[in-house]
Structure 1
Amino acid sequence: MSITADISTSAADATPTAAASGANATARFHTDKSPYAAARDTPQERVSLLAREVIEAVHDTIRRHQVTYDEYNALKAWMIQVGEDGEWPLFLDVWIEHVVEQVANASRVGSKGSIEGPYYAPGAPELGADGAVPMRDEEPGTQLVWQGTITSVDGQPLDGATLELWQADDNGYYSQFAPGIPQWNLRGTFTVGADGAFRIRTIRPAPYQIPTDGACGKLIAAAGWHAWRPAHLHVKVSAPGHLPLTAQLYFPGDPHNDDDIAAAVKPELMLEPVPQPDGTVQVDYGFVLDPA
């Protein structure tokens, strides 16, 4: 069965579930990431170092907090459920990835990055340098016009650079990961010309809660945390001879900018939306890519 087989528009009255979203995210990860290929040549010494230190950190937590067998068995049961729900991509991307991203991109001179999250899908339709992402008729949400340029750190426009955009809809759901949404809804690829400029028409996204009816939701409830992510746009920006950039862009005034459950908000990624007389919102935000 294909990854998107259970999310056709004929399922418009279906209710999204954590298990279905998790299964899609897990399948997508295995399809797109080739997870073992990049680390195939990692020396045994480094594997041993990382594995031992993670395990020893768990040992230290158990000793310091006198973890009981009941708590240990609850952890085992919860970890099994995370796997059964397919929520390891969600768990790792929400609570772990932001630190990996900080370490991986610490030496960047150009634009700041952020986490990718579990809902990226490659192959979004090509829309040129000026276009609107695919939307349903009467797509809910405020119309957003976003323009900017893609340059190198020396200020030169990057002819042929691409920007992939994906986002949740006004209800907080992503196409290909929730039922009843067309495959490429609110997803598109934009390729700039010699001036490096792009202009994108989409909608302003809404804040949303990560799925809470699965294993990750059980952790959130047991710990007394909230499940909210602030509204954001996802992007991947790339150009020949330059380091690719993955980022999320945020909106001022969102109540969860300061306590994002994924800890992914950075001040450099904050947009400045300007309301327009026609009821749309306009933002100006570009990207600077580091040389490879």
Structure 2
Amino acid sequence: MIPTILNNADEEQKAEWLPKAQNLEFIGTYAQTELGHGTNLRSLETTATYDPKSQEFILHSPTTSATKWWPGNLGKVANVTVVVARLIIGGKNYGPHPFFVPIRDPTTHQSLPGIILGDIGPKFGINTVSNGFLIFDNFRIPRRNMFMKNARLEADGTYISPKHAKLAYGTMVYVRATMIRTMSNLLGRAATIAIRYSVIRKQGEIEAGKGEVQIIEYQTQQYRLLPQVARAWAYEFAGRYTRKLYEQFLAGDFEVLPALHGITSGLKAVVTHQTALGIEQCRMACEITGPKIVFF
């Protein structure tokens, strides 16, 4: 939530929302992905239609596939969310824009009228995170709840375009940039566990009569584990570099956005895949006949 406020809120909005987010006066999440949403962000179905008479947006989920699906902590914890929806003004579609949306009563924690939400249920992995779903039924929010650092909307419905069409994608880029260093940390932990085990655990003789050796002495064990250490450091440095690019973007250097978007999109796929394979190699490297290590 905080990166979205920093990247998308104007100064007035930032003064109102940022201190509350930092003081945990509200708990936020990011609701972009929909049940029927693929990789094309412009195909999002949730709409935010501006009503100039009341100076409000009407958030609506027109189909089942428009259900916001998977936001972390939405199921049970979050009471506000950033919603990415198609901006509709006078019947014209202006594409996806971010909106600051309260979803639960701050006192009772019950969902607000016009909102249906809940937990999506058990998942493969990270079951401690209450990933949720969110449906809007003509739910109204004030005009100023549209993030207006980049694109702006005047009270009379006049739309002012952002300097760059993809500035609103900054939150996704931040998550990807952060994810790279997170994968480095996870792979590094697994490699540390497996290598420490390998220098303590002894099994078999390499030379007859010399006694059992540490399993790290076996080349096959080294081939499994040492590349994971190298990958973990490579991902750490890549993560630092992408975070630096993101900070340049946040400071107003919009020229780095195309490179930042491409680098983080590619690295997200490669790094998460290789980290999963690497952790599995570390686990298998501890599968030695005899006493076993409890790996996770």
TM-score, length of structure 2 as denominator length: 0.24
**Relative contact order, CA 8 A, sep 6+: which one is greater?**
1
TM-score, length of structure 1 as denominator length: 0.24
- Structure ranking higher in helix proportion: 2
